[in-house]
Chain A
Amino acid sequence: MTEAVSQPDQPQTVEGGDMTGDRDLFSKFDPLIKMRSDLLSTGVTDPFGLVMERVISPTVAMCNGRETILLGTYNYMGMTFDPDVIAAGKQALDDFGAGTTGSRVLNGTYAGHKAVEEALCDFYGMKHAMVFSTGYQANLGIISTIAGKGDYIVLDIDSHASIWDGCKMGDAEVVPFKHNDIEAMEKRLKRIPEGAGKLVVLEGVYSMLGDIAPLKEMIAVAKKYGAMVLVDEAHSMGFIGPNGRGVAEEQGCLDDVDFVIGTFSKSVGTVGGFCVSNHPKFEIMRLVCRPYVFTASLPPSVVATATTSIRKLMTASEKRAHLWDSSRTLHKGLTDAGFQLGTTEPQSAIISVIMPDLERGAMMWEALLREGLYVNLARPPATPANMTLLRCSLCAEHSAEQVQQIIGMFTRAGEAVGILG
C-alpha cells in the first residue's frame, strides 16, 4: 500500500460520465475535486502539495521557508548525499552524457547498466538481475509477464499499487487473501485447480503500518503447493537482514524466494527498480517483459550512483545498527508519550502513528510541520481498515539528538491538537 494519494492501491473501476450531462470525461472526478476543495477551504495546508525549496541533507530540508526535519522520506540509509555516490554520478554524466534515449534491448544498455546489474547479483548473491526504470515498472513487468492466462496469482490484500496493477495488466486469475494470514493463503492455494501455474506475491515490509510478513512460514506453505514466490523487499533493502538483503534473509528463507523485487528509490537513494532471481531461464524476461522493453533505460548518472550506493550498502552494518537503535528509541518514545502505533514492537524503519480520525490527523500533520517536522499523512482509502496514519520513516543519518527532538515535537503537537490527554 502507498501513501500520499487519494485512491486505494487496489485499482477501482471508474464509471463513465453522466449520460444526461455534458459528457465531460472529467466529471467522474467531481466527488474527489469537491472533497479536496472542502478540506482546503478549512484553511489547512495541502498535505499533498508540499514543496522542498532546498534539501540540506538526507534528514533536513527547507519547507515553506522553514528548516524541517525529514521523517517521511524513504531515504532509509541516507545515501542521497554520500560523497562517493555523488562523485560517481558526476563522472558518469561527463563520460556518458545525460541520458540513453533508448530501450535496454536496443541502444539503451551502457556499461553502467551492466555494472549495476552485477552489483545487484553480488548484493543478493543471486545469478540474475534485471534493472527497470522504476520499482513500479519492475512489479508491473515481472508479475504481468510471468503469470499468464490460466495461471493464478495469490497475493496479500494490502499489496502495493504496483503489484495490483501488475495483476490487472496480466491475464492471470487474481486471488487476494487477508493481510499476513497464513491460513487464508493456504486455503486459497489448496483450491486452485490441479495443473494451474501459481505465483504467490508477498512483501517483506508493508509500508503502511511498517509491519513485516511471516515470510518463512508463508513461503513454506507456498512451496508445499508448488507455487513460485515473488517477494517485494522495497522497504527492507539495505537495512533488514545481516547483509541488508531484506526480511527473507533475516528469516533465513531467501533461497526459497524465486523473485526478489526491489527499488533504487529507497535505501539506494536514487530511482529505478529491479528483479533478482536464480531461475535458469530468467534472461528471457529481457525480451518478453513489455515494461522493460518499451521504455527508455535509466540515465547513466543514475545507474552509476546506484552501483556505488549498492556496493557501499553491502558493508553498512554500522549504519544498520544505528538505524535499528533509532527505530527502537522512536517507537518507545512515542508509545511512552501515549500515542497508538501500528505495531507493538518496532519491526522496520517505519513507525506508523494511528490517528483517531482524518480531521485530527490532518491537524496533527500540520501542527508537526509548524514544529519543523515532515511526516507522511496516509488516509483512507489508501490505508488498511480505513485508518488515518502519520507515517514516520527513519533514516540512518538521523542523529540520536534528532530522534529526541522528534519525540518532543510529537508530544507538543499531540497535546496542542488534543490527541494526547
Chain B
Amino acid sequence: MDREETSARIAALIEPFNKKGIAIDDTTRFTDDLEFDSLTVMDFVAAIEDEFDIIISMNAQAEIETYGQLVDAVVKLQG
C-alpha cells in the first residue's frame, strides 16, 4: 500500500477521535493540536493496528508526534 492510500485510510480512522474537527496535515501533532490524552491514544492506536494488522509498540509510539510521522511509520510497518 502506498503512502497516499495509507494516509487516506488513517484519515478516515482519525475522524471519530478528532472531536474539534481540526484540519489535519502532516505536521498536526497528536497531543498538542488534537489534544489526545493517554486513553484516546490507546483506542486510536488499537484502531490503526486492527485496520492494518500491525503492531505499533510503545517504543515505536514514542517516536511518533505528528500525523505525518504516523503515516510514515504505518507504511514502514506494513513492510
Contacts and interface: CB of A to CB of B under 8 A. Distances in A.
Interface of A: 8, 10, 13, 152, 157, 167, 173-178, 184, 187-188, 191-192, 381, 385-386
Interface in B54-76: 54-55, 57-60, 62
Contacts of A167: 58
Given A381-B38, A385-B39, A386-B39, A187 B59 contact: no
B50 interface: yes
A189 to B, nearest CB: 10
Nearest to B77: A191
B59 A191 contact: no
Contact of A10 (B38, B46, B50, B60): B38
A241 B57 CA distance: 34
B39 to A, nearest CB: 7
Contacts of A381: 38
B54 A191 contact: yes
A187 B49 contact: yes
Chain B contact patch, size range: 10 to 19
Interface of B: 37-39, 42, 46, 49-50, 53-55, 57-60, 62
A188 B39 contact: no
B58 A184 contact: no
B58 A174 contact: yes
A191 B46 CA distance: 12
Contacts of A184: 46
Nearest to B45: A176
Given A187-B50, A191-B49, A8 B38 contact: yes
B53 A174 contact: no
A381 B38 CA distance: 9
A268 B54 CA distance: 43
A191 B38 contact: no
B48 to A, nearest CB: 12
B63 to A, nearest CB: 11
Given A187-B49, A187-B50, A191-B53, A175 B58 contact: yes
B55 A175 contact: yes
B44 to A, nearest CB: 12
Contacts of B37: 386
A176 B58 contact: yes
A152 B60 CA distance: 13
Contacts of B53: 191
A167 B54 CA distance: 20
25 contacts: A10-B38, A13-B62, A152-B57, A157-B42, A167-B58, A173-B55, A173-B58, A173-B59, A173-B60, A174-B57, A174-B58, A174-B59, A175-B55, A175-B57, A176-B58, A177-B46, A178-B42, A184-B46, A187-B49, A188-B49, A188-B55, A191-B53, A385-B39, A386-B37, A386-B39
A176 B42 contact: yes
A155 to B, nearest CB: 9
Contacts of B57: 152, 173-175
B46 A192 contact: no
Contacts of B42: 157, 176, 178
Contacts of A386: 37, 39
A13 B61 CA distance: 12
A91 B38 CA distance: 50
B14 to A, nearest CB: 19
Given A13-B62, A178-B46, A184-B46, A191 B55 contact: yes
A187 B54 CA distance: 9
Contacts of A173: 55, 57-60
Contacts of B39: 385-386
Nearest to B52: A191
